[in-house]
Chain A
Amino acid sequence: EPEVTQTPSHQVTQMGQEVILRCVPISNHLYFYWYRQILGQKVEFLVSFYNNEISEKSEIFDDQFSVERPDGSNFTLKIRSTKLEDSAMYFCASSVRGMVQYFGAGTRLSVL
């Protein structure tokens, strides 16, 4: 069964460093998303991406965040200068038509 894959599963970084979280969405999907989940809290929307551009973003997704689809298969989330409060699980999701979204297993980001 096709699935969304994310790498790495765990990323440890120093505050102020740049990180790139990687995702391979399901191959025939057209809509791509990033969400995050701080430990013990609900899943929060960060950004949606369609037709090679950001279609919607939340207040969390500030200038420190960016997304890219560098080729036909990868979808990345970059945080330019990480802060302690960026520590969370980051989930990538993809969807065929913007309805049912299928999530990856997530990347745990730990900012020290």
Chain B
Amino acid sequence: GESVGLHLPTLSVQEGDNSIINCAYSNSASDYFIWYKQESGKGPQFIIDIRSNMDKRQGQRVTVLLNKTVKHLSLQIAATQPGDSAVYFCAENSLGGGTSYGKLTFGQGTILTVHP
């Protein structure tokens, strides 16, 4: 069935390092992807999104890469800071021909720990 999953459940990095969080998806119809950050006791917080007609998108300190050939998504965080410590989820949607109303399918999440 459809699923979005993560390769690494935990990632520990030193402050200032770059972090890479990976995500695999299985639904070939997926055409829209989002990364969320979830801190303890809070709801998912939008980080960055990408549509399937792109393979890279950059934000502030974050970059999302999309490889549709192998159905793989990654989030790169530059100069990781202790405040980046959180659980990171990828999520996908199939916008298709405009008939989707935004149902997101989430991955399991990766715990990022940044050590000072």
Contact = CB atoms under 8 A, between A and B. Distances in A.
Interface of A: 4, 6, 31, 33, 35, 41-45, 48, 50, 55-56, 58, 91, 93, 95, 98-106
Interface residues of B, number: 24
Q: Is the interface of A mostly helix, strand, loop or mixed?
A: strand
Interface centre among A45, A50, A95, A105 (most CB of B within 10 A): A45
A98 B49 CA distance: 13
B107 A101 contact: no
Contacts of A106: 42-43
Given A42-B107, A100-B34, A48 B101 contact: yes
A99 B34 CA distance: 9
A103 B101 contact: no
Which 8 A-B pairs rank lowest in CB-CB distance, beginning with the nearest? A103-B43, A98-B102, A55-B101, A43-B106, A48-B101, A103-B44, A42-B106, A105-B43
B44 A31 contact: no
B110 to A, nearest CB: 11
B104 A56 contact: no
Interface of B: 32, 34, 36, 41-46, 49, 89, 91, 93, 95, 100-109
Contact of B103 (A41, A42, A56, A91): A56
A99 B101 contact: no
Given A42-B89, A43-B44, A48 B106 contact: no
A4 B42 CA distance: 12
Contacts of B93: 99
Interface centre among B34, B102, B104 (most CB of A within 10 A): B102
Given A100-B49, A101-B102, A103-B45, 6 more contacts: A6-B43, A35-B104, A42-B107, A43-B44, A55-B101, A104-B43
